[in-house]
Amino acid sequence: DLDECAASPCKDHQYCLNTDGSFSCKACDASCVGCTGEGSQQCKTCASGYVKEDEKCTDIDECNLPEKVCTEENQDCVNTPGSYKCVCSEGFEDKDGTCVQT
């Protein structure tokens, strides 16, 4: 078997998997910018919104940072993989970018 992966035939956001007589390109974990294999522990560097912890890239919970990320009144922070979103608190709705009581 020839190791086609030695020639790095895959794109930046993929890793190469050598198979018998061939190869395939697999997508890197969403927490990675470039990778050497499957999973968040194989990242070359961590994607935005992720931090290297215990040798793997883990999601940063922006909602638990000391500095508030959702600064509008009556707004709650919801953590998402690699990011966060600001939503109106219960009993409030978004009207032109402001949370008003429903």
Contacts of 29 (CB under 8 A, 6+ apart): 35, 38, 39, 40, 42, 43, 57
Same domain as 40, residue 70: no
What is the per-residue pLDDT for 2?
86
In the chain, % of residues over pLDDT 70 = 100
CA 56 to each of CA 2, 38, 44, 53, 85: distance values in angstroms, whole numbers, following the listed order = 30, 11, 10, 5, 24
Task: Identify the bridge partners of residue 95 per DSSP, sorted by sequence position.
Answer: 98
Domain count along the chain: 2
> Cα 93 to the chain's mean position, in Å?
28
User: Which pLDDT band, with edges at 50, 70 and 90, does 36 fall under?
Assistant: very high
CATH number, domain with residue 70: 2.10.25.10
24-30 mean pLDDT: 97
What is the per-residue pLDDT for 64?
96
Q: What is the pLDDT of residues 61-89, one digit of tens each?
A: 999 999 999 999 999 999 999 999 999 99
User: Which pLDDT band, with edges at 50, 70 and 90, does 57 fall under?
Assistant: very high
Same domain as 55, residue 32: yes
Query: 54 is in which domain, residue-wise?
Result: 4-59
Same domain as 8, residue 30: yes
Same domain as 32, residue 14: yes
User: Which pLDDT band, with edges at 50, 70 and 90, does 97 fall under?
Assistant: confident
Same domain as 51, residue 39: yes
34: alpha, beta or left? (left if phi > 0; alpha if psi -120 to 50)? left
